[in-house]
Amino acid sequence: MTGPHDGRPPDGIVTGDDGRDRCWWHGGHDDYLAYHDGEWGRPVDDDARLFEKLCLEGFQSGLSWLTILRKRENFRAAFAGFDYEAVARFGPDDVTRLLGDAGIVRHRGKIESTINNAARACELADEFGSVGAYVWRCEPEPAARPTRLDHAALSTLSKTAESTALSKDLKKRGWSFVGPTTVYAFMQAMGMVNDHLEGCWVRDEVEAERGRFRRPS
């Protein structure tokens, strides 16, 4: 989920059939609702999952996240479970294979970017010990976050100083399809920030989970 869109309720909150109040953007789709409740914003330190999230945010560019979510298992099968060491070894035959895979987004630039970024992820792990140790250094200070995250505040957060800085550093290291908006969507998805809206039942649970989370170092 890359940020608010037109058509949301005035306060950004909808009440589900289960009586729980949630961020509006899941749209009532069961798979999207499960992603909202159980995954989005919950902190992640596993390198394969972090690499997956960053790659899929790149594939999402120009598309809806729901499209990517529904193809995620196909992406995992196509890209060796997002084991970046394995993906870094992909060659021209793999690119041809992936371009013929109707289960994923068949965009040559994004496919080649994923293979390139896998090699760059190997370099990060060598330098910092893990991809997680690298990305979690960029977590915003609490004072930099809005004190009340309503739909109006969230609408200004398609990118931030932290996502811009992380994007710039990744590009300097040779990554591609990592613009500041894509990187901020990644930060939202992997729990570096908690952008569940005020009034969403998940927000406090995620914040408690973030409080218990041990940042990799």
> If you search the block for the tokens 């170092």, which residue do you land on?
217
In the annotation, is 40 catalytic? no
Q: Which of 24, 25, 35, 175 is catalytic?
A: 35
Q: What is the DSSP letter of 145?
A: S
Question: Token pair of 63, please?
Answer: 């598309």
C-alpha to C-alpha distance for 18 and 29, rounded to whole angstroms = 14
**Are the C-beta atoms of residues 195 and 148 closer than 8 Å to each other?**
no
Q: Which of 32, 40, 65, 136 is catalytic?
A: 65
In the annotation, is 65 catalytic? yes
Left, alpha or beta for 139 (phi > 0: left; psi -120 to 50: alpha)?
A: beta
Q: Which of 24, 40, 57, 162 is catalytic?
A: 57
The count of C-alpha atoms lying within 13 angstroms of the C-alpha of 145, restricted to the half-sphere facing its C-beta, is: 15
C-alpha to C-alpha distance for 131 and 49, rounded to whole angstroms = 10
In the annotation, is 184 catalytic? no
Neighbour count for residue 126 (Cβ, 10 Å)? 9
**Are the C-beta atoms of residues 1 and 65 closer than 8 Å to each other?**
yes
Backbone angles phi, psi at 151, to 5 degrees: -65, -30
Residues labelled catalytic: 35, 57, 65
